Structure formats: structure tokens, C-alpha cells
Amino acid sequence: MQSVSSARFVTPPLTRRKQEVLKQLLDRFAASVNFCIWKCLEHKVTSRASLHRVAYEEWKSRFDLATHWFHSAGQVATQMLRSWRKLCRKGRADPSRPPRYEARTMRLELWGESSVSDICRFHGHAVQIRTRKDEHLWLPLIVTEHHEFRYLKDWREGKTRVGEITISTFKDRADIFVSFKREVEPKLVGGICGVGINERSVDLTVLKPSERPKHTSLDVSKLPAIRHASQLKRKSIQQKLDALPQRPVQKRRLWAKYWRRERNRTNQIMHVVSKRISEIAERERTAFAFEGIEKIRESMRSKRKSRNGKTLHKDMRRRLNQWPFRKLQFFVEYKVARQGLPTVEVSNYHKSKDCPVCGRYNRPNGHAHRCQTCGFEASRHLVTSWNLPCSDREENPAKDGARHVPADCWQMQRVAEGLVAPEKLSVEPEKNPVSDWCSLIRDFRTVVSARF
């Protein structure tokens, strides 16, 4: 099992010569990727090996770069085509319009730590990029204590190794993302934990064979509050600076500032929340099941799917569009993977409607779930997190995404069979109020400042 975390490095301002070389490389990389996409479509090939067979000679004569650039560009091209074909199958992309690589970034592979023909090499304090034979571009890095403590220490000791390096430019500097891969021993899991990510709370239910289910609710209501406050701020900036005399440059600068502030504050809270979940993971040793929140963005747009045949109000659409549910899931996933515990995404079909005790399909209206057969009462969010791991209650488990479950990570069905019914017919989760979080964040800050 592998856990990947990536670090962002920034270079000091580059010399004019280096900026030019980097710009050329970015242009050539984009052109190479587009060339590879075109060749893949022309020869109807999908793998990198067959792409090499049909296109390498022509690429080499056209782009005067070291061979491994072709591998890196081919990797990006085949991945883009794969996701494009997937979207075409779902009817969300146009099959007559193949994708084009327009990003101003390049993703470069490292080919073995010791190989001489590396395209790119990470030295800790600098990144060395090989352009042609005996021609290299060196990009020095600003290494902070955070980098040193969090990534480089383990890398020097050989506990992690460097994967792909992604490079882009901003102003006169370069942004360099380095991924560090760590081999983790997979742990034996003793149960499964369903994680329901909601706008104002994250609900967890730990299910273990022959144990009562444990419920926890983490309060994240600060996140929508921060987003709403930033939204008002941006609105007022817009009103003030769009009035005559207009000041567009100042507006852009202020907007960028408040976007950045909002992102940093929400990321901070989400890191604390995901850390708390990873602590639960460490204590309980369970696998994690997430709700696959698919098509939520599309469903907001279409009139057909919403109630009353109307589209949602624009405030509601904004709220749901700004809801970073996938980001929180990503944070939890990598933190849990670091401990050697597996995660899986299952469909949310019927998850908040089926009764977790008797299995009856109810039609709850609002936040409360009341079962009409057995009288079970709980919050709907809690019911979702409880139902997530129990996919065998469905008639057709394949529909439920159970096929995505790695066969060796746990026996989902066995866990679900050995479940014990709850004590009472009304269940309340263990609550973690906002004030707790605030103190937690403060603690976290003091820890951070004490460390550096």
C-alpha cells in the first residue's frame, strides 16, 4: 500500500535566461502532449507502449528533446484520453472534439533514482531538469523548516521516495510540486467506519462485528459561515470598486486576497477535522467508506431533477457549489492511507432513506429519520453514515459500488452480518461542538509555533 503526499516548493526569482528556457520547455511539453493525443487517435492506440511504437521516431525528429520527455508527455496524453473516453461514454463530452492540452504546467517523471537518463532529478535544495544530452536546467528551491521537517527528513533517511514533479510558472518564479511516496504496511482492519460529509457536520459511524455501533458527529458549521462572510466581503468590494471611477486592478487584487484568505481558513479547519478523523481511525482500526456524491453540480443546474420543476435559488446554488465535500474527503483519505487503512467510495443510493435497524425504505422529509415500521429515530445524516458500510442490504450490490471494494481489504458482508442492534430506538451521536474546534485550532497553532 502506498501513501502519497505532495509538497509545494517555490523558486527564488529566476534569471531572464532561465525564465526563457522554462517558457520554451512548457511550450514544447504542451505541443508534445497534443502531438501524442493526435497520434493516439490517428493510430487508435491507448497504451503508452504502443504510442512509443507508432510515434516515437516522428516525435524525436520534430521536438529536439531527451527521450524521456516523450514518456512524460505520452503519460499525460494517454491519461487525458482515458478520462475523455470515460466522459464520452457517460455523455458528458463530445466524441467529435478530442481534448487539447492547454495547461501551462508540465508533469515530469523520474525514471529510477540511479538512472543517468533521468529527465528530472530532485536534490533536496534544487530540481535538475534534463533537456538534451548534457544539457540541464537547474531550478533552486526555497526550503523552509516545514519542508525540512515534514518531507525532506524522511526522504533523506530513505523512508519516502520522490514520484512525479509538476512544474509551472508564476511571475518570475517557478512553482514546483513534488510528490513523496511512502510504502505503508497495510493494517488488519477490525471493522468499518461510514463517513457522511455534510454541509455543517461530518458524521461517523463505526461498525464492528459483535459491538454496538458508535456514532460521532463533528461540527463543521464554521465552514459555511466563513464562505458566507467572504461572499459578502467580495460583494461589497465589487459594489464599491465598480462604482465610478472604476478601479478594476484594485478590485482584482482585493478579490484575490479574500479568495486566498477564505481558502486558507477553510483548509485549516478541514485539516483539523481530518486529523480528528484519522485519530479515530488510529484508535478504531477500521476501513473507511465514503459517500460517492456524484452529479451534485449537474443536478443543481437541471430543472427536471429539482423539486417543483424549478432550478434552485441562486444563493442555494452558490452555497452548494462552494461546498468543498470532495476536498475534505481527499484530506481524510491521505491521512488514513498513511496509517495503512483502506478507504472506499460507495454509492449514496437510498442511504439516508433505508432504516438501519429493520431495513424498511422510508421517505423522510427534513433532517429527522423516523421509521414507520420499527419506530427508530435518528438524524438523517447519522442514518446515512450508518448505512454506508452495509451494502449487502441492497438487492443488487453491484449497483452500489461494492464491486469497487478491494477484495483483500475487508469482508464487508461479514462485518455487516455480525452487527448488533442499537440499545434504544432513538440514537444521538457523540457531539463535538464548535467551541471545541476553536480551542483545538488554537492548540494546533501553538504546537506549530512551538515547533518552528
Tell me which residues touch Zn ion (CB under 5 A). 355, 357-358, 360, 371, 373-374, 376
Cell numbers at 235, concatenated: 460583494
Return the bridge partners of 377, or none. Answer: 370, 426
Q: Which is nearer to Zn ion, 194 or 292 (CB)?
A: 194
Q: Which is nearer to Zn ion, 79 or 373 (CB)?
A: 373
Q: Which is nearer to Zn ion, 164 or 377 (CB)?
A: 377
Cell numbers at 392, concatenated: 449487502
Q: Which is nearer to Zn ion, 316 or 421 (CB)?
A: 421
Q: At its nearest, how many Å lie between Zn ion and the CB of residue 375? A: 7
Q: At its nearest, how many Å lie between Zn ion and the CB of residue 351? A: 15
Q: At its nearest, how many Å lie between Zn ion and the CB of residue 370? A: 9
Q: Which is nearer to Zn ion, 159 or 360 (CB)?
A: 360
CA–CA separation, 384 and 194 (whole Å) = 8
Q: At its nearest, how many Å lie between Zn ion and the CB of residue 195? A: 23
Q: At its nearest, how many Å lie between Zn ion and the CB of residue 359? A: 7
Q: Which is nearer to Zn ion, 246 or 373 (CB)?
A: 373
Q: Which is nearer to Zn ion, 278 or 379 (CB)?
A: 379
* Residue-wise burial string across 319-331, b where 16 or more C-beta atoms lie within 10 A, e elsewhere: beebbbbeebbeb
CA–CA separation, 302 and 296 (whole Å) = 10
Q: At its nearest, how many Å lie between Zn ion and the CB of residue 271? A: 37
Q: At its nearest, how many Å lie between Zn ion and the CB of residue 357? A: 5
